[in-house]
């Protein structure tokens, strides 16, 4: 049974996770356009399929069959590698996020083994997330540099400065949560938030605020999309990309949004817990988790179509002079409260 436990079950979980993430990207592409249309009082895509439901598939086919242009002035090996460098970490991050109950007594069994709704419950789950997400900046910078284009290079430099600046605040915002939970494991942190008043959003609201804002900056979403500002940089770091390579950059942004929302839900919003409903059946834990992530993704879209883009000096000032001090003060305050 060892080969089932260590090979077959993980492969099934990986297939389910990747399939769910890619389906989530397709749904987000449609939701982005339909919700923005609703917010602006206009019609979104509503022709391809029932209420435009097949629009993401049409967009995907369009990208696949578009002519794949590779400019002659690019550094071809790095140019081709960059989209994968930003996509693969986005998929890898999901490995430690629990998307349903991990209690062995509640989960279903497969081949006689408990089928926990988490790929791997690492002892250093939080550190793994921070390490893997920090690799995404390499895809942006390498794509910008390999494009040999001034607009792309400016977008890459902006993205590098922005992501490094906000990663610091994002990492420090988690220290308070770790001090309270005493563990780096996601399953332990979620298990401590069974009751709604134990959710870390109430116990660590400054940390939640900093983490949420920093996650917007890390995903290059408006109002933090300075790296691809059309009015200034044409398309920014992906100006020279077309066809499926551009689609991969596009997918990576939505994957980062989905994973960022899932991490936020797990750390601050109780994960799959909600008034004990998750104990009725294991399926309810997955539904609760997906509902919370969906609400957070709606918030991403809402913010994009509500707030204007920051100036670059405002963006850097927010990261270094506002979020970083709040994260440090929260750490000190949490330490004092735990000490006394």
Q: What is the pLDDT of residues 128-141, one digit of tens each?
A: 998 898 888 888 88
3-state secondary structure of 12: helix
Q: What is the pLDDT of residues 154-194, one digit of tens each?
A: 888 888 888 888 999 999 999 999 999 988 999 899 999 98
List own/partner pairs for 330-334 with CB under 8 A and 24 or more apart.
330/173, 330/175, 330/176, 330/204, 330/206, 330/207, 330/210, 331/172, 331/175, 331/176, 331/179, 333/176, 334/175, 334/176, 334/179, 334/180, 334/204
3-state secondary structure of 239: coil
Burial of 197 (0-12, 13-18, 19+ CB in 10 A): exposed
Model confidence at 325, pLDDT cuts 50, 70, 90, reads very high
pLDDT of the residue at 1: 53
Q: What is the pLDDT of residues 98-116, one digit of tens each?
A: 888 887 778 788 777 778 8
CA atoms within 13 A on the CB side of 91: 20
Nearest to 163 by CA among 214, 88, 90: 214
How far apart (Å, rounded) are the C-alpha atoms in residues 55 and 99? 27
- State the DSSP string of 65-103: HS-----TTS-HHHHHHHHHHHHHHHHHGGGG---S---
165 contacts 316 by C-beta, under 8 angstroms = yes
pLDDT of the residue at 199: 94
Burial of 292 (0-12, 13-18, 19+ CB in 10 A): buried
Rg of the chain over Cα atoms, rounded to whole angstroms, equals: 21
Model confidence at 231, pLDDT cuts 50, 70, 90, reads low
Torsion angle defined by CA atoms of residues 212, 217, 222 and 224, in that order, rounded to the nearest 10 degrees: 130
Neighbours of 271 (CB within 10 A): 30
pLDDT of the residue at 200: 93
Average pLDDT over residues 207-234: 83
pLDDT of the residue at 67: 82
Higher pLDDT: 117 or 213? It is 213
3-state secondary structure of 333: helix
How far apart (Å, rounded) are the C-alpha atoms in residues 29 and 33? 7
Model confidence at 117, pLDDT cuts 50, 70, 90, reads confident
Neighbours of 121 (CB within 10 A): 15
Percent of the chain whose predicted confidence (pLDDT) is above 70:
98
Q: What is the pLDDT of residues 19-36, one digit of tens each?
A: 989 899 999 989 988 988
pLDDT of the residue at 4: 66
Does the pLDDT of residue 233 top 80, yes or no? no
- State the DSSP string of 289-310: HHHHHHHHHHHHHHHHTTSPPP
Give Cα 176 distance to the centre of its chain: 21
Average pLDDT over residues 269-298: 90
pLDDT of the residue at 164: 85
pLDDT of the residue at 328: 95
109 secondary structure, DSSP code = E
- H-state helical runs in the chain: 2-3, 9-39, 55-65, 76-92, 125-133, 136-146, 150-173, 175-181, 186-191, 200-203, 205-218, 230-233, 243-268, 282-304, 312-317, 324-339
Show me where the domains of the chain are located: 73-339
End-to-end CA distance of the chain: 50
Model confidence at 2, pLDDT cuts 50, 70, 90, reads low
């Amino acid at each position: 049974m060892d080969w089932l436990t260590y090979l077959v079950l993980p492969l099934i979980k990986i297939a389910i996770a990747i399939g769910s993430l890619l389906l989530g990207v397709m749904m987000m592409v449609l939701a982005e356009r339909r919700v923005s249309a609703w917010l602006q009082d206009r019609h979104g895509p509503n022709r391809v399929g029932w209420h435009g439901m097949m629009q993401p598939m049409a967009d995907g086919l369009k990208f696949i069959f578009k002519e794949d242009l590779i400019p002659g002035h690019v550094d071809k090996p790095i140019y081709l590698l960059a989209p994968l460098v930003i996509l693969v970490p986005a998929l890898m991050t999901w490995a430690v996020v629990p998307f349903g109950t991990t209690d062995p007594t509640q989960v279903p069994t497969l081949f006689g083994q408990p089928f926990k709704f988490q790929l791997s419950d690492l002892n250093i789950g939080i550190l793994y997330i921070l390490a893997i997400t920090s690799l995404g900046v390499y895809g942006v910078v390498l794509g910008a540099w390999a494009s040999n284009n001034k607009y792309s290079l400016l977008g890459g430099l902006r993205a590098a400065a922005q992501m490094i600046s906000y990663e610091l605040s994002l990492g420090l915002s988690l220290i308070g949560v770790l001090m309270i939970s005493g563990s780096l494991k996601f399953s332990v942190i979620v298990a401590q938030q069974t009751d709604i008043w134990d959710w870390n959003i109430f116990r660590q609201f400054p940390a939640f605020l900093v983490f949420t804002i920093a996650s917007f900056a890390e995903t290059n979403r408006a109002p933090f999309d300075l790296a691809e500002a059309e009015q200034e940089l044409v398309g920014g770091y992906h100006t020279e990309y077309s066809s499926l390579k551009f689609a991969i950059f596009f997918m990576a942004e939505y994957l980062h949004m989905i994973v960022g929302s899932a991490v936020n839900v797990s750390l601050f919003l109780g994960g799959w817990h909600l008034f004990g409903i998750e104990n009725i059946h294991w399926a309810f834990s997955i539904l609760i988790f997906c509902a919370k992530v969906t609400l957070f993704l709606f918030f991403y879209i809402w913010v994009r179509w509500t707030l204007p883009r920051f100036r670059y000096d405002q963006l850097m000032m927010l990261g270094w002079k506002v979020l970083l001090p709040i994260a440090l003060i929260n750490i000190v305050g949490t330490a004092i409260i735990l000490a006394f």
